[in-house]
Structure formats: C-alpha cells, structure tokens
C-alpha cells in the first residue's frame, strides 16, 4: 500500500488509549497512535514534519514525539504556566504558545525564548500562523484578536515593546477559533466567537469584510482551500456552511431551488470544537464534545464516516502526511534543542554551554529575504533579472525604431 497523501490527526481529552491518533483520510483506518498523556484544545501541532507537539491538558508542559516513534515521548517542554494553545510556524522555525494571557515565542533551532507578548487581558484561546509564517494571529477571552507580524516581534530591541499590527476588536464575547487562509500577508482571516458571529477580516489592513450572525454561539471555524465556503461549528452541534461567492445562477439553477435550510451539516449532538477541510476541498472533518469525529462530504452534506472517541474531542485536523511518519528508521533533520523558560538564557546562567552565535535581526533591517546567505543569492538573482529585463527592453526599442523609421 502506498503511503497516504493526507491524514487525520485527532486527540480527545480522555486520552485513555492514546494521546493522539493518526487516521487515513479516505478509508478511516487507524494508522498510528501516539501514547502518553492527553492534549488540550487547539494545541496539537506538527513541527516541521518531524515532531508532534501537544500541550498537556491542565499541566504546564508540552509533550513532544518524534513523528516516527509513536510510543516514546521524546521530550517534555516545561513551561511557566498551563498552555492553553500552541502552534508551530509552517516553515518550522518558530513555536508559539499561549500561556495564561501571554504569548511565548520560541526559536526552534536554538530553543531560545525570543519574546513574551502580554497584550491580551485574559486567557488565550487560539493561535494561528499565516501560511507563509510571516504573521500570526492570537485570539483570547478578552474579545480581541491580534495580528502580529513575526518580523517585528523577533526584533532584538530592548527599548521597544512589540505592538500588534492590527487589533481586531469587533467581537463582543470571547474568541473561540481562528482560521487563517492562504496567500501569506494577503490572506483572509476568519474568527469565531461566543457572541454568535463569525467575522471575516483582511489580514493586510485589519479591516472587517464580513460578519455573519448565527442563532448559536460558534465554537470553531474554517475555510476551504479556495475560500469558497466558510464552515462554522455551532455550540448546538450544527455545522453551518456559508457560501462566500454567489454561484452563477444560470448554471445550477436546479440545485438552487431546494437550497432552503440545506446549508447545515446535522449529526453532532454537542459543541463542534474543531473543523478542518481536506486539500481538495471535498471532505470536511469535524470533532465534537459528543466524543466523535465525523467526516463529511461537502457537496452532498452527508456524514461519510463517524469515529468514536473516549472523551470530548479536543483536536482534529487534516494535514498532508509527513514523509517521516511511516518510515520507522528515519531520523529528524535537526535534534530538538532544550527550550528555555526565560527570556535571556545568558542572564539566568543557562545556555552558556552552546558556543554558537545568536543571530537576530537588527531592528531596522528588512526581513524580506531571511538570513544573510540567502540575501546574497537573492541579490545576485535580482541583478541577473534586471540585466535580462534591460536587454529585452533594448530589443523592443530597437525593433520599434526600426519599424517607425522604415520608409513605407
């Protein structure tokens, strides 16, 4: 059997049999299970395709597994407080955790704690990165969602406390879930809240585009990859589908006639806590407090499969299968360092054993090109391109002068 393309990663709060399970997306067969502890809500994440991280429910540490060794905990990252949400950047360079009302940002390569952002007034509920890792969004129980630019947060400038790029402050009750779409800094962000609304924002300007008011509080939200549909998991177990672009009426008029009330996926009997859409946008995964995860066919809105868990589902996500997952002999590219608990390890007397150089971006350099080596390559590439452009331009000019000056 060939390795599956996409897998389902799910965890529940009971954790009787395993902490988190890996299922095949289409057949629903159980592939792997990682053991030890249980994972709190919105805190299961895959780092760089090599590690699985999950914050322990109600405790102040994060469980880490190497992705190919399912039985053994690789490490426990001890944190200053109970971790309420956790996420790793898609490029695998940074790890962000919400601990009480503060956001902790670690650099994965060194394990240094780069920043503690305490701009929320109450506990955090959700953290999400944009797909190019340039921004992350944090939502909390103080009704605020903050957009942070990663580059400005990691700047090494003691006098300057990092400020969020945008404050999304139009919700009137705690934020329950955030989804960040594709397209890097031009992405659209969906936030769900207990105030029965889901709002769609533009990441670049921080402006609200859409607000949908529901009959029930919304516990989870996601967009399909094309951003045609918004899926909202309600606190009564319904999943509401909002179509973001009107279909052309001429083409599918027959289907439009019976669209009354058919935009709800009915099946769950309790809070829908997590939603995720597959890469091709045909399958929707939902996890609920009624101890099941369900797989839905989006087109027909039918439940394709229901998988029982032993406790309320805390995390369920569809991810592309990491390469290492099914190769028991593989090793992660980089060993995970020890994550520090304090902002400046040198002052605490730790971390002196590493003789490495700490490379941080200066306050005023632009962070467009990443690190130094890349820059050189990039600059030479750009110079090359400018040269070719000039040549093309000159050719065009020559050609047109010839054409114009030619006696007709």
Q: Shortest approach of other proteins to residue 98 CB, angstroms?
A: 12
Among 29, 72, 161, 282, binds other proteins (CB under 8 A): 161
Measure the CA–CA gap between 7 and 278, rounded to whole angstroms: 9
* Residue 27 binding other proteins, by CB under 8 A: no
Give whole-number Cα distances, 72 to 51, 63, 69, 129, 355, in Å. Answer: 12, 10, 6, 28, 30
- State phi, psi for 89 to the nearest 5 degrees: -70, 145
Q: Shortest approach of other proteins to residue 390 CB, angstroms?
A: 23
* Residue 382 binding other proteins, by CB under 8 A: no
Comparison of 245 and 357: residue with beta carbon closer to other proteins: 245
Q: Which residues contact 186 (CB under 8 A, 6 or more apart)?
A: 202, 203, 204
Report yes or no: 4 and 24 within 8 Å, Cβ to Cβ. yes
Measure the CA–CA gap between 161 and 171, rounded to whole angstroms: 25
Among 131, 157, 236, 350, binds other proteins (CB under 8 A): 236
User: Using CB under 8 A, which of the segments 46-54, 86-94, 194-202, 389-397 binds other proteins?
Assistant: 194-202
Comparison of 141 and 294: residue with beta carbon closer to other proteins: 141
Q: SS3 for 282?
A: coil
* Residue 12 binding other proteins, by CB under 8 A: no
* Residue 299 binding other proteins, by CB under 8 A: no
- By CB under 8 A, the residues from 105 to 144 that bind other proteins are 119, 121-123, 141-144
Number of residues that bind other proteins (CB under 8 A): 56
Report yes or no: 269 and 290 within 8 Å, Cβ to Cβ. yes
Question: Which residue in the block uniquely carries the two structure tokens 């009302």?
Answer: 101
Q: SS3 for 351?
A: coil
Comparison of 95 and 200: residue with beta carbon closer to other proteins: 200
Measure the CA–CA gap between 226 and 303, rounded to whole angstroms: 22
Comparison of 22 and 117: residue with beta carbon closer to other proteins: 117
Tokens representing residue 377 in the block? 């390559």
User: Using CB under 8 A, which of the segments 3-11, 69-77, 213-221, 339-347 binds other proteins?
Assistant: 213-221
* Residue 205 binding other proteins, by CB under 8 A: yes
Q: Which residues contact 277 (CB under 8 A, 6 or more apart)?
A: 222, 223, 224, 225, 231, 283, 284, 285, 298, 318
* Residue 173 binding other proteins, by CB under 8 A: yes
Q: Alpha-carbon dihedral of residues 378, 382, 384, 388, nearest 10 degrees?
A: 150
Q: Work out whether the CA dihedral 83, 320, 18, 296 comes out positive or negative.
A: positive
Among 27, 29, 207, 360, binds other proteins (CB under 8 A): 207
* CB contact burial 139-176 (16+ within 10 A = b; e otherwise): bbbbbbbbbbbbebbbbeeeeeebebbbebebbeebbb
Q: Shortest approach of other proteins to residue 129 CB, angstroms?
A: 19
* Residue 214 binding other proteins, by CB under 8 A: yes
DSSP letter for 338, please.
P
* Residue 224 binding other proteins, by CB under 8 A: no
Comparison of 270 and 354: residue with beta carbon closer to other proteins: 270
* Residue 270 binding other proteins, by CB under 8 A: yes
* Residue 323 binding other proteins, by CB under 8 A: no
* Residue 235 binding other proteins, by CB under 8 A: yes
Binding letters toward other proteins, positions 355-374, x by CB under 8 A: --------------------
- Residue 245 burial (C-beta neighbours within 10 Å; 0-12, 13-18, 19+): exposed
* Residue 152 binding other proteins, by CB under 8 A: no
* Footprint on this chain of other proteins (rule: CB under 8 A): 119, 121-123, 141-144, 161, 163, 167, 169-170, 172-174, 185-186, 194-196, 199-200, 202, 204-205, 207-217, 219, 235-236, 240, 242-247, 249, 256, 260-261, 263, 270-271, 289, 312
């Amino acid at each position: 059997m060939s390795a599956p393309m996409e897998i389902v990663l799910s965890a529940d709060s009971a954790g009787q049999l395993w902490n988190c399970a890996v299922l095949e997306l289409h057949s629903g067969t159980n592939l792997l299970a990682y053991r030890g502890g249980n994972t709190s809500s919105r805190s299961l994440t895959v780092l760089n395709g090599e590690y699985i991280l999950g914050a322990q429910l109600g405790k102040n540490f994060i469980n880490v597994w190497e992705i190919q060794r399912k039985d053994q905990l690789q490490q426990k990252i001890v944190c200053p407080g109970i971790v309420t949400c956790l996420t790793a950047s898609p490029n695998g360079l940074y790890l962000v955790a919400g601990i009480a009302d503060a956001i902790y940002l670690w650099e994965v390569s060194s394990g240094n704690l780069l920043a503690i952002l305490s701009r929320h007034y109450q506990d955090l509920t959700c953290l999400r990165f944009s797909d190019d890792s340039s921004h992350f969004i944090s939502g909390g129980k103080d009704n605020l969602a903050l957009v942070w630019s990663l580059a400005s947060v990691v700047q090494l400038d003691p006098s300057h406390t990092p400020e969020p790029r945008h404050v999304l402050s139009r919700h009137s009750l705690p934020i329950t879930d955030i989804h960040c779409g594709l397209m890097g800094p031009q992405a659209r962000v969906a936030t769900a809240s207990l105030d029965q609304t889901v709002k769609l924002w533009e990441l670049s300007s921080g402006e609200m585009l859409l607000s949908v008011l529901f009959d029930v509080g919304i516990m989870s939200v996601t967009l399909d990859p094309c951003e045609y549909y918004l899926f909202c998991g309600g606190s009564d177990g319904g999943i509401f589908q909002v179509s973001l672009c009107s279909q052309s009426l001429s083409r599918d008029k027959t289907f439009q006639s019976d669209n009354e009330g058919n935009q709800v996926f009915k099946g769950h009997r309790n809070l829908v806590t997590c939603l995720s859409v597959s890469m091709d946008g045909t399958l929707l995964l939902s996890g609920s407090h009624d101890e099941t995860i369900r797989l839905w066919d989006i087109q027909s809105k039918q439940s394709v499969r229901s998988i029982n868990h032993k406790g309320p589902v805390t995390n369920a996500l569809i991810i592309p299968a990491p390469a290492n997952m099914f190769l028991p002999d593989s090793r992660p590219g980089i060993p995970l360092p020890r994550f520090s608990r304090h902002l400046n390890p040198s002052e605490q007397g730790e971390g002196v054993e590493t003789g490495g150089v700490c490379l941080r971006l200066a306050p005023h350099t632009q962070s467009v090109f990443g690190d130094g080596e890349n820059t050189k390559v990039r600059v030479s590439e750009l110079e090359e391109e400018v040269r070719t452009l000039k040549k093309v331009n000159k050719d065009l000019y020559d050609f047109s002068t010839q054409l114009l000056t030619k006696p007709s």
